[in-house]
Amino acid sequence: MEKSGTSTRLTGAVQDLTSELVSALRSGGPFRLAHGVPGADDGIALAAVRVMGADAVLPSVLHDVPPGSDDLAVFSRAVHAYPPPAGASPASAWSHWAMERALRTLDGSADTPPDGVPGRGTEPRAAWLEDASWQSLTHQLAVLAPLAVPGADSAVARVARGRPVDVARGFVRAVRRRDWLQAAGAGRWLVLLDGVPETLGLETGLAFVAQMGGDDPRVALQVEAAQLMRIGVRV
């Protein structure tokens, strides 16, 4: 099926933003979201930030560098411009929840509900994930990889912590299927989990995924995040 005009532009904007984020993670230097999103007033640019989710501020989180106020403003605009619509998928709801949490953490209002409204910011339900097969679990966790950050608890993270062997199996399956993006996302979760079988060879596996799929900036971003978390950046 032919992609719509906005879909093509959105895909390109996401790729560009992802490449900027990978560079920032690798260099350890500051990442200016407001600079990395040319024309941040453009709906497509904000939509790209929304698609990236909480990973749009990942360099600030992993390198413990406070974002600039203009960067937070761009991030906040994306959060508010694209809330999950009625009937949104759990992945969309969780992605938005993670963005709100990241926003509150970075702007120092972590103890305040979003927009000051009691009840806002409540975790979405995770029942759909608890009953998922290990294959589906791995797919969903890879989609929700922006939730995999050190010290960030959530119902999704708790499900992952309870099923490390299933995630490890999913990682191997993704590698064997050459689904590098899923493998990279699953690998990022595995870095944070206890009880991962040592026979998995996670470090080597991540290097392999980077070698095979690293041309895709989305894969590179997940692998870079995993490797930074593995060596204990910030934590």
Decide if 116 contacts 99 (C-beta within 8 A).
no
Asked whether position 36 contacts other proteins by CB under 8 A, the answer is no
How many Å separate Cα 99 from the centre of its chain?
9
State the nearest-atom distance from the C-beta of 95 to other proteins, in Å. Answer: 5
State the nearest-atom distance from the C-beta of 221 to other proteins, in Å. Answer: 15
Q: How many residues interact with other proteins (rule CB under 8 A)?
A: 37
Torsion-angle region of 194 (φ positive above 0: left; ψ -120 to 50: alpha; else: beta):
beta
State the nearest-atom distance from the C-beta of 65 to other proteins, in Å. Answer: 26
Look at the alpha carbons of 56, 224, 233, 35 in this order and tell me if their dihedral is positive or negative.
negative
> Residue 133 to residues 20, 116, 170: CA-CA distances in angstroms?
34, 38, 10
Candidate list 31, 75, 82, 97; residue touching other proteins; CB under 8 A? 82
Asked whether position 2 contacts other proteins by CB under 8 A, the answer is no
157's tokens: 């993270």
> Residue 19 to residues 104, 191, 193, 208, 217: CA-CA distances in angstroms?
25, 22, 27, 20, 5
What mask of x and - would describe binding to other proteins in positions 200 to 219, judged by CB under 8 A? Answer: -x--xx-xx--xx-------
Candidate list 178, 195, 197, 234; residue touching other proteins; CB under 8 A? 178
Stretches 18-26, 65-73, 84-92, 126-134: which one binds other proteins (CB under 8 A)?
84-92
Stretches 17-25, 80-88, 122-130, 188-196: which one binds other proteins (CB under 8 A)?
80-88
Decide if 29 contacts 20 (C-beta within 8 A).
no
Asked whether position 69 contacts other proteins by CB under 8 A, the answer is no
Neighbours of 216 (CB within 10 A): 15
- Give the interface with other proteins as residue ranges (CB under 8 A): 4, 6-7, 10-11, 14, 43-44, 47, 50-51, 53, 82, 84-85, 88-89, 91-92, 95, 139, 143, 172, 175-179, 181-182, 201, 204-205, 207-208, 211-212
